[in-house]
C-alpha cells in the first residue's frame, strides 16, 4: 500500500472517530458539561459526627466543596457517630427518595442491608464512606470511599512497632470500638499486628460519646496508665481523641515523649500535639476526599450513568518528620 493511500485511510479513520465522539457528546444531557451539571440532583449526605467535630468537619468541608463545584441540592445529616441514630436517619433518608444517598458505613452490613435493598427498589443510588460494607455493595450496588479498615489498622500497628522501637514483651494500650463489627475492624487490625510482633496489648473499648467529647475518656485513660506504669505506647481510634493526647498525658502526670502516642487522622489539634512532642504517629485517611468523592460519584451515576467509585483514601503516615507538610491544610480543616 502506498504512503498516500495509508495517509488517506488514516485521515478517514480520524474523521470517523471525531464524528462518533461528537455524536456521543450530543446525546449527553444538555447540562452535563456545564459548571453546575449536577444541579437537578437531590442527595442526602451523612457527615457521621456532630457539627464542628474535628474529623466530621473535614468530611463536611469536602462535601460542601463538591456541592459548590457540581451544583446538587445536598441535605447534610449529622449523627454524633451514634450508629443507631445513623440507621434511623438512613431509614428516613430512603423514605424521602432522593436520587442519591452517601452513607457512613458504621452501622455495618446487617443493619444497613434492608435499607439498601429498599433504596435499590426505589432507584436511589448509594455510596458509602469511611467504613466499608462489602456485603451490602455486593448485593445492591454502590461504591466506597475511605480507607480499608483492617488493612490500615494493621499497617499502623506495624509502623508504630517500628517507629516506637518496641520489642517483644513490651506493653501497649489500644483504644477502639472493638465491639462494633464493622467500625472496630481497624483497631482490631492494629491490635493483631502488635500482638503478632510480641507486644502485650491492653484493649480499652471506646464509648461512642468519646468521639463527640474526648474529655469524657480522661478518667479511663488516666486509670489505665496508672495501672500499667510500664506502657510504652498508646493508640487512639480517631482524630478527636488523638488531638486530646496532651490532656490525657498531663492528667496522668506524663511529659511529652514519655509515651509513644499514635492513632488515626489529622486535625489542628493533632498538628499542635505533634509540635508539642505529644503525638508521634498518625495514619491519614484524607477525610476531605470522603466528603467530596461520594457526591461526585452520585452525580456521575445519576446524570451520566457511570459506575460507582471505589477509592482507598488511606494515604500513609504523618510523623514528627513530615507533619508540617499537612499542617496548614489541617488548620483549615481540609486535611
Mode of pairing for the β-strands spanning 281-284 and 100-104 = unpaired
Q: Both 189 and 220 in a single domain? A: yes
pLDDT confidence of residue 25: 43
| Contact yes or no for 55/81 (Cβ under 8 A) | no
Q: Would you state the torsion angle of the CA atoms of residues 175, 324, 254, 207, taken in this order, to the nearest 10 degrees?
A: -20
Is position 154 within any domain? yes
Mark whether 47 and 139 lie in a shared domain: yes
120/56 same-domain check = yes
- Each residue's pLDDT tens digit, 255-312: 999 999 999 999 999 999 999 999 999 999 999 999 999 999 999 999 999 999 999 9
CA distance 233 to 162: 12
126 shares a domain with 54: yes
Tell me if 70 sits within 8 A of 295, measured CB to CB.
yes
Residues 309 and 252 in one domain: no
The C-alpha cell 500513609 sits at 316
**Total domains in the fold of the chain:** 2
Residue 6 lies in a domain: no
Listed in sequence order, the residues at least 6 apart from 15 whose beta carbon sits closer than 8 Å to its beta carbon are none
Q: What is the 3-state secondary structure (H, E, C) of 150-205?
A: HHHHHHHHHHHHHHCCCCCCCEEEEEECCCCCCCCHHHHHHHHHHHHCCCEEEEEE
SS3 333: coil
pLDDT in tens, 19-47: 444 444 445 555 556 789 999 999 999 99
- The CATH number linked to 171 is 3.40.50.2300
Same domain assignment for residues 263 and 307: no
Whether 82 and 204 share a structural domain: no
Residues 158 and 255 reside in one and the same domain: yes
> Does residue 329 fall inside a structural domain?
no
**What is the predicted pLDDT for the residue at 169?**
97
> Has residue 333 been placed in a domain?
no
Do the domain assignments include residue 112? Answer: yes
Regarding whether 263 and 248 lie in a shared domain, the answer is yes
Residue 253 domain flag = yes
Domain encompassing residue 169: 149-284
pLDDT, position 32: 55
Regions of the chain short of the pLDDT cut 50: 1-26
Radius of gyration of the chain (CA): 23
Mean pLDDT of the chain: 91
Beta bridge partner(s), residue 73 = 42
Asked whether residue 14 is assigned to any structural domain, the reply reads no
191 and 254 co-located in one domain: yes
Q: Is residue 31 part of a domain?
A: no
Same domain, 156 and 264: yes
If asked whether residues 87 and 61 sit together in one domain, one would say: yes
CA dist 45 to 73, 75, 188, 324, Å? 10, 6, 28, 31
Looking at residue 34, what DSSP letter applies?
S
Amino acid at each position: 500500500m502506498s504512503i498516500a493511500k495509508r495517509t488517506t485511510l488514516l485521515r478517514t479513520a480520524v474523521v470517523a472517530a471525531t464524528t462518533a465522539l461528537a455524536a456521543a457528546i450530543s446525546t449527553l444531557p444538555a447540562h452535563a458539561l456545564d459548571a453546575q451539571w449536577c444541579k437537578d440532583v437531590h442527595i442526602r449526605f451523612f457527615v457521621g459526627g456532630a457539627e464542628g467535630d474535628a474529623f466530621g468537619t473535614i468530611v463536611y468541608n469536602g462535601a460542601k466543596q463538591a456541592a459548590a463545584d457540581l451544583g446538587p441540592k445536598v441535605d447534610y445529616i449529622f449523627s454524633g457517630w451514634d450508629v443507631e441514630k445513623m440507621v434511623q436517619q438512613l431509614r428516613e433518608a430512603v423514605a424521602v427518595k432522593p436520587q442519591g444517598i452517601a452513607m457512613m458505613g458504621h452501622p455495618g452490613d446487617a443493619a444497613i442491608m434492608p435499607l439498601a435493598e429498599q433504596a435499590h427498589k426505589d432507584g436511589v443510588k448509594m455510596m458509602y464512606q469511611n467504613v466499608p460494607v462489602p456485603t451490602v455493595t455486593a448485593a445492591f450496588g454502590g461504591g466506597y470511599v475511605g480507607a480499608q479498615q483492617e488493612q490500615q489498622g494493621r499497617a499502623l500497628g506495624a509502623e508504630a512497632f517500628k517507629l516506637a522501637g518496641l520489642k517483644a514483651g513490651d506493653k501497649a494500650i489500644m483504644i477502639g470500638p472493638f465491639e462494633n463489627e464493622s467500625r472496630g475492624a481497624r483497631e482490631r487490625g492494629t491490635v493483631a499486628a502488635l500482638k503478632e510482633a510480641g507486644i502485650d496489648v491492653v484493649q480499652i473499648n471506646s464509648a461512642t460519646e468519646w468521639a463527640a467529647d474526648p474529655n469524657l475518656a480522661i478518667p479511663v485513660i488516666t486509670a489505665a496508665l496508672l495501672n500499667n506504669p510500664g506502657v510504652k505506647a498508646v493508640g487512639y481510634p480517631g482524630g478527636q481523641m488523638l488531638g486530646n493526647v496532651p490532656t490525657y498525658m498531663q492528667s496522668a502526670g506524663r511529659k511529652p515523649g514519655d509515651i509513644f502516642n499514635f492513632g488515626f487522622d489529622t486535625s489542628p489539634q493533632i498538628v499542635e500535639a505533634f509540635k508539642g512532642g505529644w503525638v508521634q504517629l498518625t495514619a491519614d485517611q484524607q477525610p476531605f476526599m470522603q466528603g467530596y468523592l461520594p457526591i461526585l460519584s452520585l452525580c456521575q451515576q445519576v446524570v451520566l450513568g457511570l459506575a460507582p467509585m471505589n477509592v482507598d483514601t488511606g494515604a500513609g503516615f504523618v510523623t514528627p518528620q513530615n507533619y508540617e507538610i499537612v499542617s496548614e491544610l489541617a488548620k483549615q480543616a481540609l486535611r
